[in-house]
Amino acid sequence: MLTEALLVSAPGKVILHGEHAVVYGKVALAEALDLRTFLQIKPHKDGKVSLRLPNLGTKRDWDVSKLQLLHTAFLDSGEPTAPVPEQVEKLKVFAGFPMDSSDSECLAVLAFLYLYLFICRKQRHLPGLDIVVWSELPTGAGLGSSAAYSVCLAAALLTFCEEIPSHLSEGAASARWTEEELSVINRWAFLGEKLIHGNPSGVDNSISTWGRALRFQGGNISPLQRIPILRILLTNTRVPRSTKALVAGVKDKLVKFPEIMKALLASMDAISQECERVLGAMVAAPAPEQYLVLEELIDMNQHHLNAIGVGHASLDRLCRVTASHGLHSKLTGAGGGGCGFTLLRPGLEQSVVEAAKQALTDCGFECWETTVGAPGVSLHAASSLKANVLQALAGP
Cβ count near 383 (within 10 Å):
8
Cβ count near 293 (within 10 Å):
16
Nearest 5 degrees, angle CA 263-CA 269-CA 274? 125
Length, in residues, of the chain: 396
Beta strands 230-236; 339-344: pairing state? antiparallel
Q: In terms of DSSP H, where are the helices of the chain?
A: 64-74, 85-95, 104-119, 145-160, 179-197, 203-210, 243-256, 258-284, 288-307, 313-323, 350-362, 387-394
Contact 295, 328 (CB under 8 A): yes
**Nearest CA to 157 among 116, 125, 128?**
116
Buried b (16+ CB within 10 A) or exposed e, 145-180: bbbbbbbbbbbbbbbbbebbeeebeeeeeeebbeee
Residue 249: C-alpha distances to residues 26, 181, 243, 246 (Å):
18, 40, 10, 5
Residue 162, phi-psi category: left (phi > 0), alpha (psi -120 to 50), beta (remainder) = left
Residue-by-residue DSSP string for 68-128: HHHHHHH--SSPP-S--HHHHHHHHHHHT--TT--SHHHHHHHHHHHHHHHHGGGSSSPPP
Residues designated as active site: 146, 204
